[in-house]
Amino acid sequence: MSRSSRTPGVSRIDQPAKRTHGFFVRLQRRGKTHSAFFTDQRYGGRKRALAAAQKHYRKLLAKWGPVVRKRRRASSVTVGVQLKTERRHGEVRKYWVATWSPKPRVTRRKEFSFWEYGSKKARHLAARACQAALRKSQ
In this structure, the number of other CB atoms found within 10 A of the CB of residue 27 comes to 20
SS3 for 47?
Answer: helix
What is the reported pLDDT for 64? 87
**Residue 109 above 80 pLDDT?**
yes
- The residues spanned by each domain of the chain are 10-64, 81-137
**pLDDT tens digits along 30-39:** 888 999 999 9
What is the reported pLDDT for 73? 61
What is the reported pLDDT for 130? 86
What is the reported pLDDT for 135? 81
What is the reported pLDDT for 1? 44
Q: How far is CA 104 from each of CA 98, 114, 134, rounded to the nearest angstrom? A: 17, 30, 13
**Residue 117 above 70 pLDDT?**
yes
**pLDDT tens digits along 72-86:** 665 556 778 989 998
Q: Which of 25, 19, 22 is nearest to 7 (CA)?
A: 25
**Residue 22 above 70 pLDDT?**
yes
What is the reported pLDDT for 30? 81
